Amino acid sequence: MAITASVLFVAAFLLALPSFAQSPLHQGQQQVQYDVYAGGIHALQANLNVDMKGSERYSLSLTAKTHGLLAKLAPWQGKFESHGWQQTIHKPELHQSTTTWRDSKEIKKYSYNKDGSFKSYSVKDGGKAESFRKVDAKLTQGTSDVLTATLNTMQVIAKTDKCEGTTDVFDGKRRFKLVFKEKKQVELERSRWNAYSGPAVECSAEVQPIAGKWHEKPRGWMSIQEQGREQGTIPTVWFAQIQEGAVAVPVKVRVKTSYGTLFMHMTQYETEGKALTLKDK
């Protein structure tokens, strides 16, 4: 089931909303649909919703769920969302993750002050009451959430065509650096799996442990990352600015593991006045 675990961690790390909005999109809003393949099997369906609300606020919402046979073997779905303030470096106000494994649901909330300081962390497990957890300031001081960290890199790419970004992130138990580094500029071609064609920047995405409850032997995402390193490459994301003036979005993701390679392909894109889809082929 190692490849199943890989799919779930990739989903939690990078994927998004289950369906497009039915109403017309407003300026600054982008929605992207993805299919994820593991070892050639269609394992996940997911979308991404980025909403830059005017010049003061942003919202980044994410969900993913297993698909087909994998949905029967590993019925998992997750919704991840961040809301906050647009600044030179965007600052979160709230990050929330809701994950469901079979019939078990867990909700985690991370709250922040406008100056970027950490406010609170709570967990609601199943039918239990919400529980606020006391956390060491050494784990939270100066951190952001993983979605806002990625959004900041997407903004840098849109403005400079350079993929670079290093952010300290707190995930409830651990503190780590999320590091994006540019590998090269590329020209992608449309295919039977991916609707995007055009310039993109190829980036590595690396998690670097700092503090907290890390295992001596890599587990979860760290295990997947290190398996990829042994295969010659850590997780790789291709970003592209599809709409002029908007932030860049992921158009392809590749994660190599000891058990096979996972690919995430963009199958549909929509923003105000523009749409791409595989159905156009």
pLDDT along the chain (281 residues), means of 10: 45 40 70 90 89 90 83 86 95 95 93 96 91 95 96 96 96 96 97 96 96 86 90 95 95 92 94 86 51
Give pLDDT, residue 67: 81
Q: Confirm if 172 and 123 have CB atoms less than 8 A apart.
A: yes
- Give the pLDDT confidence score for residue 28 in this predicted structure: 81
Residue 91: what pLDDT? 96
Q: Which token pair is 195?
A: 């609707």
**pLDDT score, position 21:** 41
Give the pLDDT confidence score for residue 6 in this predicted structure: 46
Q: How far, rounded to the nearest angstrom, does the alpha carbon of residue 254 sit from its chain's CA centroid?
A: 13
Would you state the pLDDT for residue 3?
42
Give the predicted TM-score (pTM) of the model.
Answer: 0.88
